[in-house]
Amino acid sequence: MTNAITIEHVNKVYDGKVTALKDVSFNVEEGEVFGLVGPDGAGKSTLFNILTTLLLPDSGKISLLGMDVINEYKSVRQIIGYLPGVFSLYPDLSVEENLQFFAVMYKSSIEENMELIRPIWKQISPFSDRKAGKLSGGMKQKLALCCALIHCPKILFLDEPTTGVDPVSRKEFWDILKSIRTQGITVVVSTPYMDEATRCDRIAMIQEGQILGINTPSAFIRDFQGKLYTFRSENIFSLLNIMEQCPLRCNYYPYGEHCHIAFYDDVATALPQFEQFLQEQGQSHGEIIAIDPSVEDCFIEIVQMRNALNQTQP
């Protein structure tokens, strides 16, 4: 596999005080859907802006298909498509005019690359005369995606395309990404939704400007350190207070309608001890069942371990 993107030791500090990126290094392979997963403020957008030649890093080296993002920025811009985190189309132009504008800017035409965008365009073409500013959120995103694809880029950058989007539209958007992937376009996408991470080939978990880990979703799940169990309780949040007194090495948290607990001791002894603890605290609960972790469980574990490490090494 050749690399579409290589990132080596990238740092970025704003105004000499706010560290946005701290020694970030990773590669993205050609043709893969690569996810950057992390909360707002983790540095995702800063990284996108550097990768798309809009912002200079303080140090480090980045190349896209062998081209340097600083010295060869003009060539880089020809081969990338970028959907920024904020709506950046012209609200006063119609849907079709926006698309035409982006095609012309890249010296292309709508007809030339219609094949690539056809599945998405079909959904918005009934509104082709409507002003882009008057579209619903989901439609705006689809138009923005068409505009980012209309020059047939080799690498597509999507900065939080589904934030604030409802679950149904989110699923539709990811179905579209899947079809783009089959065209051989490399996709780098950021999201705060952990469930979307499983739809990427590989993901990088990022927090406070640092990469916490890079792997396939299934490898993250395989490498989960604890033994994870789930159960039902009437008091999933008040259990948080009670668990502070639990002597076991474990991590408890609510997870939808369920409670999750990861044990870091031998479960053969930890599990009965935990059941006894709940009983002593007068907590009734459903059956405690072993389960496979989700990417969200993995993120929680990795962040908790990192926080614990930071506390012991000030």
Q: Which residues bind other proteins (CB under 8 A)?
A: 38-42, 136-138, 160, 163-171, 192-194, 207, 236-238, 240, 253-257, 296, 299-300, 303-304
What is the nearest approach in angstroms of other proteins to the Cβ of residue 61?
29
Outline where DSSP puts E strands in the chain. 3-14, 18-29, 33-37, 59-64, 67-68, 80-83, 155-158, 186-191, 202-207, 210-215, 227-231, 250-255, 258-263, 289-290
Q: Minimum distance between the CB of residue 96 and other proteins, rounded to whole angstroms?
A: 22
The residue among 263 and 299 lying less far from other proteins, judged by its C-beta, is: 299
How distant, in Å, are the alpha carbons of 53, 62, 202, 213, 226 from that of 216? Answer: 27, 22, 4, 10, 19
CB of 3 to other proteins, least distance (A): 29
Q: Which is nearer to other proteins, 23 or 234 (CB)?
A: 234
Contact (Cβ atoms closer than 8 angstroms) between residue 299 and residue 194: yes
Rounded Cα gap, residues 162 and 137, in angstroms: 10
Contacts of 134 (CB under 8 A, 6+ apart): 91
Secondary structure of residue 285 in the 3-state scheme: coil
Give 113 or 190: the residue with its C-beta nearer to other proteins.
190
**Cβ pair 37, 205 in contact under 8 A:** yes
Q: How far is CA 20 from the centre of its chain?
A: 17
Minimum CB–partner distance for residue 168 and other proteins (Å): 5
- Closest approach, Cβ 256 to other proteins, in A, equals 4
- Cα torsion 29, 215, 201, 190 to 10°: value is -90
Round the CA-based radius of gyration of the chain to a whole number and report it: 23
Closest contact distance (angstroms) between CB of 70 and other proteins is 29
Nearer to other proteins, 18 or 105 (CB): 18
Which residue carries 């972790």 as its tokens?
Answer: 293
Length in residues, the chain:
314
Quote the CA–CA distance of 240 and 232 in Å, as a whole number: 14
* Shortest reach from residue 303's CB to other proteins, in Å: 6
Quote the least distance from Cβ 312 to other proteins, whole Å: 18
Nearer to other proteins by Cβ, of 39 and 126: the residue is 39
Instruction: Detail the DSSP E strand segments found in 96-249.
Output: 155-158, 186-191, 202-207, 210-215, 227-231
**Closer to other proteins by Cβ: residue 129 or 166:** 166
In the DSSP assignment, the letter for residue 131 is B
Nearest residue (CB) to other proteins, 104 versus 240? 240
Q: Give the nearer residue to other proteins in terms of CB position, either 39 or 119.
A: 39
